[in-house]
């Protein structure tokens, strides 16, 4: 809608805002006609026609053969196009790199997982591996699509410049990640950003999971360090320095296992993937690739292994306590758990739900659910974030 309280905004700004409103409406209500867009955005029909023509020309919208089933002249229907463009997301895990490319319509273009020991390789080698993966992905999709941006997801703290002051799960401190990735890629012609895995995962949940209409949503990441992505009132909460959601060292059990931070019973020391494997598979030894170990736990749980089942119930109870803390802080509608917590959800969630219900002052309280996006959630959110400027109404340069 045209903003009347910003008289100094030039016409370019207004057009960008209006373009975003048109895209947003089509994303939510496609297929829809130009008249629908005008009726719901408050823009006049001539403006909508002109914006739609421009968006079709730039490959952001396309017309379908469908017509609306109503009396009068049949209308040509519009849907998101985006087949000319892609956003790239890359997730750095402790033991893997995941790359996802997605189009503005949300269509997944590519998903790659590569085992890579980022935690032992160090930042320099990781940036090299990451840049190589990005180059391969751009080569693969570049013939058909222009890459509009890359966002890298990191399990740790990320400041607004894309520096990583600390990522204990990777053993990183003070890594200027965005600048290093830009340097390694030289000038590929698209912007590079870095954000926390939790922030990008919650973005992916809202866009690609079943929570599009949810304005108060938390994603609790699985993996070596537990983090939370927080959407409150429809907005991502970043906090003063960008570190909101760094809940990994929230103390849950004073007599719990010792944590890398030197204290005991932190969320990460109880629910992190290494803690869960150590507890349920005491014979596992040091783990470099978590996925096969989680699959072993799933197999044992399915087979009814008593110690594993009991352990999962106790971990589920702790998960319920963590969700109750988040619920008390933010009053979200849904807390979604990702990573290994999602993989083990069939055995964790019953105990977690019971614990949560017992701690809920006014039922029904928050819903606690498993993510359906798998280990690609952070990377998918990265691909989504990389498309943010076009979704905000800027025309793609490519």
Among 34, 249, 340, 353, binds Zn ion (CB under 5 A): 249
Asked if 385 contacts 391 with a C-beta cutoff of 8 angstroms, the reply is: no
Q: Does 261 bind Zn ion (CB under 5 A)?
A: yes
Asked if the peptide bond before residue 104 counts as cis, ω within 30 degrees of 0, the response is no
Query: Residues touching Zn ion: how many (CB under 5 A)?
Result: 4
Shortest Å, Cβ 115 to Zn ion: 27
User: CA 337, CA 349: separation in Å to the nearest integer?
Assistant: 10
Nearer to Zn ion, 61 or 322 (CB): 322
Q: Which residues contact 311 (CB under 8 A, 6 or more apart)?
A: 279, 280
Tokens of 191: 């912007």
Among 61, 220, 266, 387, binds Zn ion (CB under 5 A): 266
Minimum CB–partner distance for residue 257 and Zn ion (Å): 10
Torsion of the alpha carbons at 7, 8, 13 and 15, rounded to the nearest 10: 40
Q: Measured from the CB atom, is 252 or 287 closer to Zn ion?
A: 252
Site of tokens 């007599």? 255
225 makes contact with Zn ion (CB under 5 A):
no
Q: Which stretch binds Zn ion (CB under 5 A): 177-185, 241-249, 288-296, 364-372?
A: 241-249
In 264-387, alpha helices (H):
267-271, 273-280, 290-302, 306-330, 339-343, 345-358, 377-385
Nearer to Zn ion, 86 or 225 (CB): 225
Q: Which is nearer to Zn ion, 135 or 279 (CB)?
A: 279
Distance separating alpha carbons of residues 16 and 311, to the nearest angstrom: 53
Nearest to 373 by CA among 142, 211, 238, 164: 211
Which segment (24-32, 245-253, 284-292, 353-361) binds Zn ion by CB under 5 A? 245-253
Q: How far is the CB of 325 from Zn ion (least distance, A)?
A: 15
Nearest residue (CB) to Zn ion, 182 versus 249: 249
Q: What is the C-alpha separation between 194 and 159, in angstroms, rounded?
A: 9
- Cβ distance to Zn ion smaller for residue 86 or 259: 259
Closest contact distance (angstroms) between CB of 225 and Zn ion is: 9
**Stretch of 16-24, 39-47, 257-265, 324-332 lying at the interface with Zn ion (CB under 5 A):** 257-265
For Zn ion, the closer CB: 259 or 280: 259
CA-CA distance, 196 to 177, in Å (whole number)?
Answer: 12
Near Zn ion by CB under 5 A, which window of 86-94, 176-184, 264-272, 293-301?
Answer: 264-272
Residue 259: C-alpha distances to residues 154, 269, 286, 319, 338 (Å): 20, 5, 16, 17, 21
**In angstroms, rounded to a whole number, what is the distance separating the alpha carbons of residues 231 and 300?**
35
259 contacts Zn ion (rule: CB under 5 A): yes
Q: Using CB under 5 A, which of the segments 19-27, 65-73, 162-170, 246-254 binds Zn ion?
A: 246-254
| Site residues (vs Zn ion, CB under 5 A) | 249, 259, 261, 266
């Amino acid at each position: 809608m045209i903003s009347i309280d910003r008289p100094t905004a030039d016409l370019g700004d207004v057009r960008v805002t209006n373009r975003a409103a048109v895209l947003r409406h089509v994303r939510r209500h496609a297929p829809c006609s130009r008249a629908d867009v005008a009726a719901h955005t408050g823009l006049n029909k001539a403006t909508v026609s002109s914006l739609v023509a421009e968006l079709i020309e730039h490959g952001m919208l396309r017309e379908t053969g469908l017509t609306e089933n109503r009396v009068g002249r049949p209308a040509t229907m519009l849907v998101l196009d985006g087949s000319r463009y892609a956003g790239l997301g890359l997730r750095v895990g402790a033991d893997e790199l995941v790359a996802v490319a997605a189009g503005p319509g949300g269509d997944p273009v590519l998903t790659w997982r590569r085992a890579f020991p980022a935690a032992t390789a160090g930042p320099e080698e990781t940036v090299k591996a990451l840049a190589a993966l990005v180059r391969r992905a751009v080569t693969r999709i570049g013939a058909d699509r222009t890459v509009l941006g890359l966002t890298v997801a990191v399990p740790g703290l990320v400041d607004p410049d894309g520096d990583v002051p600390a990522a204990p799960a990777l053993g990183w401190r003070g890594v200027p990640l965005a600048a290093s990735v830009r340097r390694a890629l030289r000038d590929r012609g698209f912007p590079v950003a870095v954000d926390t895995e939790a922030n990008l995962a919650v973005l992916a949940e809202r866009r690609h999971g079943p929570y599009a209409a949810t304005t108060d949503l938390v994603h609790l990441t699985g993996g070596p360090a537990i983090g939370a992505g927080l959407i409150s009132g429809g907005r991502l909460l970043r906090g003063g320095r960008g570190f909101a959601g760094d809940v990994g060292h929230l103390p849950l059990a004073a007599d719990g296992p010792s944590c890398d931070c030197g204290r005991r019973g932190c969320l990460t020391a109880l629910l992190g993937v290494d803690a869960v494997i150590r507890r349920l598979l005491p014979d596992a030894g040091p783990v470099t690739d978590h996925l096969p170990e989680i699959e072993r736990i799933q197999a044992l749980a399915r087979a009814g292994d008593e110690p594993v089942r009991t352990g999962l119930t106790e971990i589920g109870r702790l998960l319920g306590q963590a969700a109750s803390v988040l619920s008390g802080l933010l009053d979200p509608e849904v807390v979604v758990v990702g990573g290994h917590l999602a993989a083990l959800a069939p055995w964790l969630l019953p105990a977690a739900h019971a614990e949560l219900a017992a701690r809920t002052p006014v039922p029904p309280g928050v819903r606690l659910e498993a993510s359906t996006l798998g280990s690609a959630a952070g990377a998918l959110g990265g691909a989504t974030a990389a498309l943010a400027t076009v979704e905000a109404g800027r025309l793609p340069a490519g």
